[in-house]
Chains A and B, each alone.
Chain A
Amino acid sequence: MEFHFPTTIKEAQEFLQKPSTIAVAGGTSFTSRNVNSLVDLTRLGLNYIKNGKQEIRIGATTTITELKESKVLNGFAAGILPASCEVLADTQLRNVITIGGNIACRYLWANLPPALMALDAEVEITGRKKRTMPIEKFFESKLAPGEFISEVIIPKGSNKGSGTFVRFARTKVDYPLISLAVYAEKQNTKISLLRVAVSGLTPPTRIKAIENELQGKKIDEKILAGAAIKAPSQIRVLKSYVFSEEYLREILGVLLTRALKKVLMEG
């Protein structure tokens, strides 16, 4: 096995194109030894949070701790992204887990994907060419050899809405069984924008059913409860040996109701 420490994007690409090669950033998810080489991406200068006019650009090897403590992100879109970082693993892991890794590993328990979905984020992939895609699309696609996530782009648009990030787990640092992000904006008293994203018991998904149902509506408890109850029954729940499927669906309903209430009726 070989270990490479590229200092330029081009070098990184070249290494990654070789057979049986994997990119490493935080490296916390590694168990397999059956690769020919590992490529350390943390020395490419991809650790930044750039606050532009139209968007926030986050380098792929920015750590969870850095996201959590970022003034820019805490003041943006109700601080959903730092909120998802606060309840992500523990201090030592937050110091090394990167935004790119948390997406690329495609773990169901990863907190960032639903938070980023609620922010309508895009993922920039660097390979022979650079390409950008909405984060939902990333989870439906694959990386080609030589490609890696280089940046996460969060459109600024309007960002003065309310949001929340909640998770359901057995203990504070446990892998979440449910991660839920909600972001909404109101115009007068009606919902002008609503994004609801969930993962944990299901792969990271935007719950379009709720978004469509509540979009443009004036919210009250009855409408909320109705929307929240339907959604869990429509989601594909993956097997867990910890809790039953019925229970997880029920909890999702409870968390959705509470999150929507918090965001839509109190903020």
Chain B
Amino acid sequence: MEITCKINNVEKRLVFEPHEKLLDVLRREGYYGVKFGCGNGDCGACTILVNGKAVKSCIMFAAQAKDKEITTIEGLSTPEHPHPVQKAFVDAGAVQCGYCTPGMIISAKALLDKNPKPTEDEIKEALEGNLCRCTGYVKIIDAVKLASQRMRGGKR
């Protein structure tokens, strides 16, 4: 079957079998930043934005992307300008193996778009669906706080 949707602001026509999940279709289309971690909706490595909301693409039917606006990690920055959340992850030392990172950043961006000044508990809640085994989450939470500060024009 075939649907149209927007991916990172670009109109796309996707062709796939009806039973296929969006994660597999996105990766086939070359969006390698969307990761396969479990295929079960448990780990969040596949997190993307659908109409601005964080969603796990491995348990979403590709068909349900019809007429939706999808944002993947690739859509967050240009080569010259990383998104402030990406830069904050780098600066805070929140990237170790990097496999959970795209999903984390997408979840963090969704949070900050909705709530520019989250408390630590709100940050934890926003990221509780993204598993990480390398960092213990400590510097990831630091990174989101840093991004929040910077995006509000605050000082480091």
Contacts and interface: CB of A to CB of B under 8 A. Distances in A.
Asked if chains A and B come from one complex, the reply is yes
Interface of A: 1-3, 5, 24, 27-28, 30, 33, 37-38, 40, 42, 65, 89-93, 95-96, 172-173
Interface of B: 1, 17-19, 41, 44, 47, 53-56, 59-61, 63-64, 66, 107, 110-111, 125-129
Contacts of B60: 27, 96
B19 A27 contact: no
Contacts of A3: 1, 18, 61, 63
Given A28-B59, A96-B60, A1 B18 contact: yes
A91 B54 contact: yes
A148 B1 CA distance: 25
Contacts of A30: 59, 61
- Counting chain A CB atoms within 10 Å of each CB, the highest count among B17, B107, B129 belongs to B129
A2 B19 CA distance: 8
B22 to A, nearest CB: 10
Contact of B56 (A2, A93, A172): A93
Contacts of B54: 91-92, 95
Nearest to B46: A92
24 contacts: A2-B1, A3-B18, A3-B63, A5-B63, A5-B66, A27-B60, A27-B64, A28-B56, A28-B59, A30-B61, A33-B19, A38-B63, A65-B53, A91-B110, A91-B111, A91-B126, A91-B129, A92-B47, A92-B55, A92-B129, A93-B129, A95-B54, A96-B60, A173-B128
Given A92-B44, A93-B41, A24 B129 contact: no
A33 B18 CA distance: 9
B129 A38 contact: no
Given A27-B59, A91-B128, 14 more contacts: A5-B66, A27-B60, A30-B59, A33-B19, A38-B18, A40-B64, A90-B128, A91-B125, A91-B126, A92-B47, A92-B55, A92-B129, A95-B54, A173-B129
Contacts of B56: 28, 92-93
